[in-house]
Structures are given as C-alpha cells and as structure tokens.
Chain A
C-alpha cells in the first residue's frame, strides 16, 4: 500500500492532551489517546492548522535543516516569494537574494521567476480545447491532497501544470549545469525556502507518478534570523532579482488568479473557505468560471504556518516592494504555441477515500446505522473529553473499534448518578 510521508508531527513530551488541536483539525484527523494527541496519517492533509493553534508548541513541522545543504557540492536556494514579505524596511529583493548566497548557497533561483512563466502558460492552458472548467490551481499541496482524499470528482479540474517550485528547481539545475560544465547532476542540490510543511510533504511524496525535483525544504522561520543578520551586512547586493509584480504577487491570495488576465476567476483562502468552495464546485453551484485559485492558508502563502510575519503585514510589505516593478520579467514568446512537456504532469494520484466506513456499501450501511444509534444516546455536547472532536466522531470511533462507550466520561457520570438515586 501507498504510504504517505507527512511533515506535521507531534512532540509527545510537550503535548498536554488538551482539546485545542482536536477541535481545529479540518479533517478530524486528531484524537487524544493516553493523554496526548495522535494524528491519523490517512486523514492528515498537512495543512498546519494544529501547529498554528497549539499553545504548547507540541506540533512541529518536519523540514530540513540548513546544514543539509552540505550534502551537495553545488547548493541552490529556491526562495518562495513569501520570504520577501518578512522584512521591515526592505526596498529591494536583491538584499534577500544576496543574503541567501552569504548563508552558504552557491546560487539563488527565485520561485517567483518560474511563477511568471506558469502564469503565462496557464493563460495558454485556459484556451486549450477540451479542458474541464473551472480549472483549479495545482500550487497549494493541501488543496491537491484534499481533492484526492475527498473530492475525487474534481480531479479532472486540476490544472495539469507543475507548481512554480518544481519548475524553478528544474530550471535552476539546468542553469547550474550550463554555468558550471564541470558539475554532474548529482552534485547539485536545490532547496526550497518554504512557508509551510505542506510543501515539504509534496517534495517527499511527489505527486501521482511525478517525483519532485527539489532536494530539500527549509522553513522560512529557520533561516530568518541568520538571514536577516547577513542582509544587514550587505551594502551592495551581488545578485539582481528577476521577478516582476506577477511573480511576487503569487505569495498572496489572488495573485495567481489575477495573472490570468480576465475576471472569470475565484480566489479563496483559509482551509474552511476552500473546503466550502470545493463543495460548491462539486454541486455545480458556482457561476461559470475559468479559474479557481485556492490557498489553504489565510491570505495565501503569506499566511503559511512557517512564516514569521503576520500575513496582512507581509502582504502590505509585498505591495510596497512590487510597486515599481515591471508587471513581469519572464514572458513566453508570442510564437510559442504549446506548453512545454516539462511543465506538465501526467496523472493525478490515486483516489484514497479517507472516510469510507466498511469494505462494501452494505457493510458501511450497517456501520452507519450503528453510528446513528450510538450517537443518539450520547450527551451531544461535543466536549472532546472522550478524545474525539465531537460526539458523532466518537460514535464513529466506537463502530470502527477504536473506542468504547466507556470513554465518554459524561455518559458514565450520568449513568452512575442515576444508579445512586
């Protein structure tokens, strides 16, 4: 069986077994067992909500460390545009890029540069005959996983174009080989500087039969302080940014969608909003649209859980940074008629339904009937004391053999007090 490698983990020693993450997990993937949280890997979509809400810092993102880059002879940084919005009084992206070189990278390749090309090809894609509209963006890995677990009927809407991070990794490696003919491909490591654990999962697991070209993922929060120190020491930057407004705009919700240059789009952000939108799309209950951009994080990637700045402040900073930039610095020649193969992926991952109860419909129906019966007898106050996020989920756990009715302390208490009277 296919095993999905996650990037959100629990530090048991810090977990107090409170019910905060339990209540916030959008896929009900968390249970409290033996006094601490347990994440069900089949349901987890790596959205990072639990990391965000945990007061005890017991939920962690598993990303690479900066030292990992030393595995490679030639190290390339692939900064997400979100990184640019993290700094006070920054007037040019060039300082960030130069700082990354000082940090130990041999080269930097901006993901926003590739994002501009992805935008250009997306416009072409939208004019392709036979595509299923609305086309859904493939950039946020949480959305991709959500679709493959829960909205299989929307798979064919997903744009079969690789996300900018992947395009950047490939282009950066090609450029490195061109500039340094003495290198062989194994010498080169490309590291994404990431706003979220979801990207780390994408890199580890690939997508369908596609294997990521990224060699490691390092979080923005991990490199932030060393980077800022090095940026302060930079008087005249040694590299120049090659991104325009479109590329940098990808860091916030709406940036990708507005770059299709027509107003037939929808851009939604925040995990609950995107689930709602996907539900409505599945019902056909949206106006005819060309494109749908979905970001699991509030505000888009600027709201990623591994960033430093508040998303709205980061957004405002990006606004200032972009102001005097050209619309785009990367364009596709007008005589290009086809999207290059290297931009496309072939197949969506298999559908792994996360919630199926039994092996057959008949078995599932029997189980569902049991769930209804058990749930009707529970207190219905959704307190979480049983370790499940609500009474219905608890009833499901009982029927699935993962809990017993005695795990509900309220019910046990009521039964006891009845006996005493």
Chain B
C-alpha cells in the first residue's frame, strides 16, 4: 500500500446542532478524491450514525477517517459510558435513549445495525466506564 490520507474531527458532545458535520465534510473530501458516489454514500451514512451516537450516548469524541487505495476506514473513539452488552446493542430496535432524545427523532435503535449494513467490516470494543471504539471499513 502506497499512501494513506487521514481526516480527523473533534465531535463536540455539547452541540447537537453541529452533530453530523464531520460526515458532511468527509463526503466533500471523498468527492474531491473521485471516489464513486455509492461508496461515498455508504461511508457517509455509517459515519453519520456513529457521529450522532457519540454525541447522544457518549458526550462527544474523536472521529478519524483513513483513506487508502483499498478501503476507507472510519474510527470513532469516545470516553463515554461504554456499551454493556454489545450483542444486544447491535439488535435492530434496541435503544437506551431517553425520551428527550426520542422526541428529537433519535433513539429508534437503528444506528448500529445500519452502520453494520452499510460497511464491509465493523468492530466494536467497549469497556463500561472507559469508552467505546468503533472501527468500520468500506472497501473501494
């Protein structure tokens, strides 16, 4: 593998209104690289869900996107409460989002399943009380 590009974003946990901005920026960057529209869409959908999760469930974190000539990797790293039971969290419809969040239209429990669906690979490591790290890959 020759080169890789890295885009790094701080995802602000206090600012709901700017949630999702990193994925919009990533989309712009990937367009500039000439990545095909369908791949961009998959990356952007998956990243958006992950970004929103960091804001809602973990008080923010860091998002990193690595582009190589074979794949695009999205790494989402936070120091939030962690996920107790990953298998359960991955189930469609499972959500711990409080009512206040649901009233904003989030909390359907579809984020993690969609991230899995739109990417070729996804790994979650999480420790309760320490944080969560999600790595996703979309092959080019």
Contact = CB atoms under 8 A, between A and B. Distances in A.
A372 B35 CA distance: 18
A181 interface: no
A358 B41 contact: no
Contacts of A355: 28, 31-32
B33 A153 contact: no
Nearest to B29: A368
B31 A356 contact: yes
Given A283-B23, A284-B45, A366 B3 contact: yes
A279 B33 CA distance: 18
B44 to A, nearest CB: 5
A285 B2 contact: no
Contact of A353 (B24, B31, B45, B48): B31
Contacts of A364: 32-34
Contacts, number: 62
Given A356-B32, A357-B32, A365 B69 contact: yes
A361 B69 CA distance: 8
B104 interface: no
B140 interface: yes
A153 B37 CA distance: 6
Interface residues of A, number: 24
A361 B27 contact: no
Contacts of A369: 3, 5
B55 interface: no
- Residue with the greatest number of chain B CB neighbours at <10 A, chosen from A279, A287, A358, A365: A365
Contacts of B31: 150, 353, 355-356
A391 B67 CA distance: 23
A153 B5 contact: no
A357 B34 contact: yes
A153 B27 CA distance: 12
A360 B34 CA distance: 7
A104 interface: no
B99 interface: no
B87 interface: no
B140 A361 contact: yes
Contacts of A279: 24, 27
A362 interface: yes
Contacts of B5: 365, 368-369, 372
A111 to B, nearest CB: 33
A361 B35 contact: yes
B107 to A, nearest CB: 14
Interface in B13-33: 20, 23-24, 27-29, 31-33
Interface string A132-159: 0000000000000000001011000000
B32 A368 contact: yes
Contact of A361 (B20, B23, B33, B40): B33
A153 B34 CA distance: 14
Contact of B44 (A283, A356, A366): A283
Contacts of B35: 361
Given A150-B31, A279-B24, A355-B28, A365 B3 contact: yes
Contacts of A283: 20, 23, 41, 44-45, 48
A365 B67 contact: yes
- Residue with the greatest number of chain B CB neighbours at <10 A, chosen from A150, A283, A285, A353: A283
Contact of B33 (A150, A284, A368): A368
10 contacts: A153-B40, A282-B44, A355-B32, A356-B34, A357-B32, A357-B34, A360-B34, A362-B3, A365-B4, A369-B5
Given A153-B37, A365-B4, A368-B33, 8 more contacts: A153-B38, A279-B27, A283-B23, A284-B45, A287-B105, A356-B31, A357-B32, A361-B69
The 6 closest A-B pairs by CB, nearest first: A153-B37, A364-B33, A356-B34, A152-B37, A355-B32, A357-B32
